[in-house]
Structure 1
Amino acid sequence: MSPKSPTALSSTKLRIVAQYRDKATMVYELEADGSALDVRISPRNAVSDAGDWKIEARPGRTHVAGITRWARTRREALIEVGRRWAADGLPAFDWAAVEGALATVRAL
């Protein structure tokens, strides 16, 4: 993961506030400094899927379109989501902290 930008939310305050299953998808709701991020992790469902793992992330509790990326591993998919998130100018998050929080609960 790349270092956080000066406007990124503090990694010391980032925490998972909820985690649950939605069919084959694990959903993680994260919060930091009053901002929320929803991360959905799904395994390959069909031969035509673009990778082994899909991660979708969007600003939490909104209907704003988020970022979806497929990759060989969950960690690789998350890294790609973080890169695209920053490129699209979505609300800043410390993606290294997101990776750490998800690794803590063995999501990666």
Structure 2
Amino acid sequence: MGEKYELTIDLNALNHLGLNLYSNVPSVLSEIIANAWDADSKNVEITTSSEEIRISDDGCGMTTDELNEKFLTVGHQRRKDIRGNLPLKFKRKDMGRKGIGKLSI
């Protein structure tokens, strides 16, 4: 597994971050499900145990480069990207807004 993953915080995120942004589990789960929606998922599965919450979906996924450049860049402004090359079936409007929901995790 030679891929390298790197979290980057863009200065744009500083304009949006605040105390208690995600203060409870339902808010965190809502952010994760919104990410699945934006990835064109039809199904999201949440399983829990006493030690973890596991979430999986059937969205379009990302390459290692896309993961690093987009998802792991906090504050990435997704609406500036051209999404026309993605094979999106449902043509939904994005739920994500600020590019910082991933911090809820």
Length-normalised TM-score, structure 1: 0.30
Bigger fraction of residues in helix: 2
Largest Rg, 1 or 2: 2
